[in-house]
Amino acid sequence: MKKISILGAGLSATSLIEYLLDRAEQYDWQVNVGDYDINIAKHKIGDNKRATAFAFDVNNGEQVNQVVSESDIVLSMLPASFHHIIAKSCIKNKKQMLTASYVSPQLKALNNDAIEAGVGIYMELGVDPGIDHMSAMKVIDKLRADGSNLEAFFSSTGGLVAPEYDNNPWNYKFTWNPRNVVLAGQGVSMFIRNGRYKYIPYQRLFYRLSETAIDGVGEFEIYPNRDSLKYRETYGLETIPTIFRHYQRGQKT
């Protein structure tokens, strides 16, 4: 039996917990869900016999190491600022770690330690970030295989609401912490278009809107999504003259 530990049982972990519990019997998994509020963890697992809930304090180093050492794989769904604590313990105990968050400077600094320990610290495995990167590379790799020359890369992502549930004035779905939506708009957005570098300060960010259309859904307003430039290296597009990643603010009204 494989032991899977999910640390953090908040809103963003709900679908993950349900997915694993639905398949726990089939794949012989024991799913352990820890949260600072044990009642939240208990609510998420219900009466599933393949799951246990426990109170978890990420600031308790002894408990962190115990939970990690007793797991086969650890999924950190904690706030992003705590991932490095879990990652250090996973490296120490030689356990694999997965999370949906961006690679922070603290986690990037652990890269060599993880490699030396033979431990995978898998980041950006969600919808955004995650599927956006995977779908981008699928398209890029196909074009390269076909012998195409890439001159521009555009991508859009965002919280789209199913039309039948679109009943809020923003026409926007908060699928993540609303605080992080605000934080995402506080930095300088950077991209390159036709060889010219563009830098949009946070106070002008939402004045630089453009539009995109999705077949069968409608038109959406989009704004520059933080630093597009760093993805030139990530996607192997170092010499491309245009790369522009957008975030969809909401449906155009």
pLDDT winner (highest mean) among 52-61, 124-133, 237-246: 52-61
Q: Is 47 helix (H, G, I), strand (E, B) or coil?
A: coil
The pLDDT-based confidence of 219 (bands split at 50, 70, 90) is: confident
Q: 11 with 118, same domain?
A: yes
Which of residues 81, 99, 122 is at a domain's end? 122
The pLDDT-based confidence of 217 (bands split at 50, 70, 90) is: confident
Which of residues 105, 122, 139 is at a domain's end? 122
Choice between 158 and 190, residue whose per-residue pLDDT is larger: 190
In whole angstroms, give the CA distance from residue 36 to residue 53. Answer: 11
Choice between 166 and 3, residue whose per-residue pLDDT is larger: 3
In whole angstroms, give the CA distance from residue 185 to residue 214. Answer: 24
Instruction: Write down the residue that tokens 């600072």 correspond to.
Output: 36
Which of residues 88, 122, 156 is at a domain's end? 122
Q: 191 with 236, same domain?
A: yes
CA 244 remoteness from chain centre: 19
SS in 3 state form for 95-145? CEEECCCCCCHHHHCCHHHHHHHCCCEECCCECCCEHHHHHHHHHHHHHHH
What number of residues does the chain have? 253
pLDDT confidence of residue 106: 92
pLDDT confidence of residue 51: 97
Q: 164 with 209, same domain?
A: yes
What is the tally of helices (H) and strands (E) in the chain? 9, 12
Q: 29 with 81, same domain?
A: yes
CA angle 98, 102, 108 (to 5 degrees): 85
Q: 83 with 163, same domain?
A: no
Tokens of residue 125, six digits = 């495995």
CB 222 within 8 A of CB 211: yes
Which CATH number is 155's domain given?
A: 3.30.360.10
Domains in the chain: how many in total? 2
CA 138 remoteness from chain centre: 18
CB 249 within 8 A of CB 222: yes
The pLDDT-based confidence of 167 (bands split at 50, 70, 90) is: confident
Q: 142 with 116, same domain?
A: no
Angle between helices 61-69 and 83-93 (to 10 degrees): 50
Q: Is 250 helix (H, G, I), strand (E, B) or coil?
A: strand
Mean pLDDT of 3-27: 95
pLDDT confidence of residue 17: 97
Q: 118 with 146, same domain?
A: no
The pLDDT-based confidence of 195 (bands split at 50, 70, 90) is: very high
Q: 144 with 237, same domain?
A: yes
In whole angstroms, give the CA distance from residue 81 to residue 160. Answer: 26
Which CATH number is 94's domain given?
A: 3.40.50.720
pLDDT in tens, 81-105: 999 999 999 999 999 999 998 888 9
In whole angstroms, give the CA distance from residue 28 to residue 73. Answer: 14
In whole angstroms, give the CA distance from residue 155 to residue 240. Answer: 14
Q: 16 with 111, same domain?
A: yes
The boundaries of the domain holding residue 232 are: 131-251
Pairing of strands 96-98, 196-200: unpaired
pLDDT confidence of residue 111: 95
Mean pLDDT of 147-173: 79
CB 90 within 8 A of CB 97: yes
Q: 111 with 142, same domain?
A: no
Q: 118 with 170, same domain?
A: no
Q: Is the pLDDT of residue 153 over 90?
A: yes
Q: 9 with 38, same domain?
A: yes
CA distances from 103 to 74, 92, 100, 121, 209 (A): 17, 19, 9, 10, 27
